Amino acid sequence: MNVAVVGTGYVGLVTGTCFANMGNRVWCVDVDEKKIENLKKGIIPIYEPGLSEMVLHNYNLGNLHFTTQIQEALEVCNICFIAVGTPMGEDGSADLQYVLSVAESIGKYMMRHMYVIDKSTVPVGTAGKVREKIREELNKRGSDLTFDVISNPEFLKEGSAIDDCMKPDRIVIGVDNEDAEETMRELYKPYLMNTDNFIFMDIASAEMTKYAANSMLATKISFMNEISNICERVGADVNKVRQGIGSDRRIGYSFIFPGCGYGGSCFPKDVKALVKTAEEFGYQAKLLQSVEDVNNAQKHVLVEKIMERFGADLSGKTIAVWGLAFKPDTDDMRESAAITVITDLTKAGADIRAYDPKAMEEAQKYYLKDNDKIVYCKNKYEALEGADALVLVTEWKEFRSPDFYEIGKLLKTPVIFDGRNQYSAKHVKKYGLDYYQIGVRPSCVGD
């Protein structure tokens, strides 16, 4: 099949590449000329395990094309995915300007019946707006061409997106006629040769499903962080509580790890957007608003612990920070807890020695570019040199089993503040290190 994917960000590039890998001819379209030229040279704008190799392979095979001209793609394609960003507006709503701009271009340049598929995360009712915009442009042309608008939300996880795309646990599709359903079945059939995990529904329900899924996962995280804060105050150990409730099959272990808050491109934006959508329809989403409030507060918890130990004025203190990305196996720093932690620490007077396996460039170029109190280090142990404490923010695999003897030797003050509860307090304590976790009272050598 001939498929156009408009937008070569995280979702668009992964989606287009995976379709090409199944033998389709795919045109990835983006208005960013530099990005398109770099993609043609094999330079990938994001870090995602396995993506670079798959892009290069399919580009060399001729299955994957990159262009800045949507009309070039629509000359040969009758399927067009809209996979552009829906950034958060000032009021928390999803900004649809890029989605509707693509819809306008489709209306201008489509040459045959088109299946227009919303892959971007969009609020309920967006399909209708896309349909209106395309029809408006067709009317200007005096054209009677027909088209279908379909909702096909993505459920990719950064760090495992290729696997999620090639081996989906479900494919949610919102359609309003049998022809559109059959076309989507044919397109996705290679991904589900051994299963039938298609979930077809009306378009509004498909649009809502993505927001509901992300908001549910965000709710689990904020719930566990709320429990962790209560545990610490009453003297319970949240790590043991997590095991106790996670063994209940109705609850499970996924997304109930305590920490210093969720981040990324999806959860923060989607929770806010769903709250805003509810407001627009006259409903106050109190639970979801609380999810966001708890998460925002949780990002400050690590610094509160540091100040309890060293005092509110951190002038003259140097803090080593392990992890900048919002989660492991990505360079994405959007809404990362590390941004809040480092900003709070430097405002209090501290200097920072930071290390992350993949997100250092993102931090320096974008998210922390104006903070001149940060030294970026080549490895995790270099970050410890001359530091008064270690703060772990992102649970990269290379941080899971560090040399605690080396940590104690390099730090001026033998203390670890763990924002992801990665270690055994008893084990850390054996090396003469004080250990602060989320949701557990501190484990100090002198206790």
Reported pTM: 0.93
Residue closest to 235 by CA, chosen among 445, 439, 444: 439
Give the relative orientation of helices 51-61 and 33-40 as an angle to the nearest 10 degrees: 80
3-class DSSP assignment, residue 124: coil
Rounded to the nearest 5 degrees, what angle is found at the Cα of 202, between the Cα atoms of 197 and 204? 115
What does the alpha-carbon distance between residue 354 and residue 320 come to, in Å, rounded to a whole number? 6
Q: Which residues of 254-278 are buried (b: 16+ CB within 10 A; e: fewer)?
A: eebbbbbbbbbbbbbbbbbbbbbbe
Query: Can you tell me which residue has the tokens 């959007």?
Result: 334
What does the alpha-carbon distance between residue 438 and residue 300 come to, in Å, rounded to a whole number? 11
Sign of CA dihedral 187, 189, 192, 193: negative
pLDDT of residue 447: 62
pLDDT of residue 226: 98
437 in Cβ contact with 408 (< 8 Å): no
Query: Can you tell me which residue has the tokens 């309003």?
Result: 176
The yes-or-no answer on residue 266 being catalytic is: yes
pLDDT of residue 88: 86
pLDDT of residue 81: 98
Q: Which of 260, 266, 377, 444 is catalytic?
A: 266
pLDDT of residue 89: 86
What is the DSSP secondary structure assignment for residue 191, as one 8-state letter? G
**What's the one-letter identity of residue 233?**
R
CB within 8 Å of 139: residues ≥ 6 apart: none
pLDDT of residue 236: 96
pLDDT of residue 445: 67
pLDDT of residue 402: 98
Per 3-state DSSP, what percentage of the chain is helix, strand, and coil (rounded to 5)? Answer: 45, 15, 40
Q: How many residues does the chain have?
A: 447
Q: Give me the phi and psi of 323, to 5 degrees please.
A: 105, 125
Q: What is the mean pLDDT of each run of 10 residues along the chain (447 residues)?
A: 97 98 98 97 93 96 98 98 92 93 98 97 96 98 98 95 93 97 96 83 97 98 98 96 97 97 95 96 98 98 98 98 97 97 98 98 97 98 98 98 98 97 95 96 74
Q: Give me the phi and psi of 65, to 5 degrees please.
A: -120, 150
Q: Which residues of 38-52 are buried (b: 16+ CB within 10 A; e: fewer)?
A: ebeeeebebbbeebe
223 in Cβ contact with 195 (< 8 Å): no
Q: 350: buried, middle or exposed (CB in 10 Å: 19+, 13-18, 0-12)? A: buried
Residue closest to 240 by CA, chosen among 447, 444, 441: 441
What is the DSSP secondary structure assignment for residue 87, as one 8-state letter? P
